[in-house]
Amino acid sequence: MKKLILLLTILLLSNCSFMDEKYEWGAGISTEIGFPVRIYAGRVGDVSIMASFTASFDRPDDGWGVGTQEGSMMKQLPKDIDIIWYSYVEDCFYRVKADLDYPKLLKLFREGYKERANNLETFPKGYLERTFTTFVVGLAPGGVVVVWVEGMRRQIEIGRFQAEKINLKQPEGLDGHERLIFSKEEHQRVLNDSIARPPHIREKPTPFGLWDDYRDIKYPWYPTFEFYKGAKIGDVFIEYFNREMWDTFYEEMTLETPARKNYSSNEVTIIPDIFYQKGEDISDKKYPLPSSISFGYRANNGSKYGGYYKFDWEENKKVFAEFFKMYPNTKRARLNIRLNKDNSLFTIRLENEKGDGVFFPFHRERLNFIKENDNETSIP
């Protein structure tokens, strides 16, 4: 009996500790560019979502998966969401009421992650210990709802939920601002606004299902970086079309010397300096399609460089589909970035283990190269 009482006491104390665990976080709403909404009421856990108009600007640092934080304070992690909003493009109200994966959230916040430090005197280990700070709730056409947790240079999806259309009548006693969500004049004004609805989006039909494709289209692939002999890879940062993102420190990268076909002949050549993340070559994990990739490296001339490329969704879909149709037995594809000798550009090619593959269309305007300072800590 004493053992049973002791066990129950331990479980009770453990549960109390579990419930009392708090972190500093806030929440924000995200919409796709050209698909504005107005929040009627909502909350993420105990954090209220302000009733307001929300639209993304047509620029690279805004859009799907980007949210402005509200209500940041020390509190328990949320267990659910409940949000009602009006979709201007669809002219209807939606409500999502769903439970979040609390054990997954708690694990992510407890473990946190490392952020590369620029000041080695303050952070001699070369990194800071961080955790997540924002819950981003994405509201897409068709009632698609995606929740992410976001931190500095890191964003992880928590779940996808389906909202239901609801009939919401205008209650009495609303002030002028509160009545805007029910105003037909305001509805037309927003739809004709070139900022809320850019012309290049307004002219096309609503791509229902696109936001699920961002999440669901996945392949077994991993990035590799091919340099002339003597180069050193730096940190790698990848953003995906499902809006997840994270970086990989150069300490987690490894070098291999595979035999592969030369791109212009059938001869097998040895290309010495190819880097990839340790373990990715034997992993069975599938990833969404990349939306952008950036990396640093020290060239064999001793100078440090940074490279960046922005992918196109339709081109990505085509290249990945074509590759796995041509080489269906590929267990794990390599998205190989191959640098030229004078460090001015690179090609991107999806390859199998033998080096057979498909090039991504080259767009110079999407590629960016810079020469980094010698004291850049993200490059060895």
Please indicate whether residue 6 or residue 261 has the higher confidence score (pLDDT): 261
pLDDT in tens, 218-231: 999 999 999 988 89
pLDDT at position 330, please? 96
All structural domains of the chain with their residue ranges: 23-213, 217-371
pLDDT at position 225, please? 96
pLDDT at position 272, please? 62
* Neighbour count for residue 125 (Cβ, 10 Å): 9
Question: What are the two backbone dihedrals, phi and then psi, of residue 177, each rounded to the nearest 5 degrees?
Answer: -70, -40
Amino acid at 282: I
Please indicate whether residue 16 or residue 201 has the higher confidence score (pLDDT): 201
On the CB side of 119, how many CA atoms lie within 13 Å of its CA? 3
**pLDDT exceeds 90 at position 68:** no
**First vs last C-alpha separation in the chain:** 61
Under the banding of pLDDT at 50, 70 and 90, the label for residue 72 is confident
Task: Provide CB contacts within 8 A for 302, sequence distance 6+.
Answer: none
Q: Tell me the C-alpha distance between 344 and 363, whole Å.
A: 14
How far CA 306 is from CA of 70, 236, 243, 370, in Å, comes to 34, 10, 22, 5
pLDDT at position 260, please? 59
Under the banding of pLDDT at 50, 70 and 90, the label for residue 267 is low
51 DSSP assignment: -
DSSP 102-135: HHHHHHHHHH-EEEE-S-TTT-TTSEEEE---EE
Amino acid at 81: I
pLDDT at position 8, please? 42
Q: Tell me the C-alpha distance between 328 and 167, whole Å.
A: 48
pLDDT at position 262, please? 58
The residue to which tokens 């940041």 are assigned: 72
237 DSSP assignment: E
pLDDT at position 11, please? 40
**pLDDT exceeds 60 at position 269:** no
Please indicate whether residue 202 or residue 281 has the higher confidence score (pLDDT): 202
Under the banding of pLDDT at 50, 70 and 90, the label for residue 6 is very low
Q: Tell me the C-alpha distance between 143 and 163, whole Å.
A: 5
Instruction: Write 114-121 long-range contacts (CB < 8 A, 24+).
Output: 114/249, 115/152, 115/153, 116/235, 116/247, 116/249, 116/377, 116/378, 117/377, 118/377, 120/377
How far CA 19 is from CA of 11, 107, 288, in Å, comes to 12, 14, 34
pLDDT in tens, 304-319: 999 999 999 999 999 9
User: What are the tokens at 112?
Assistant: 């946190």
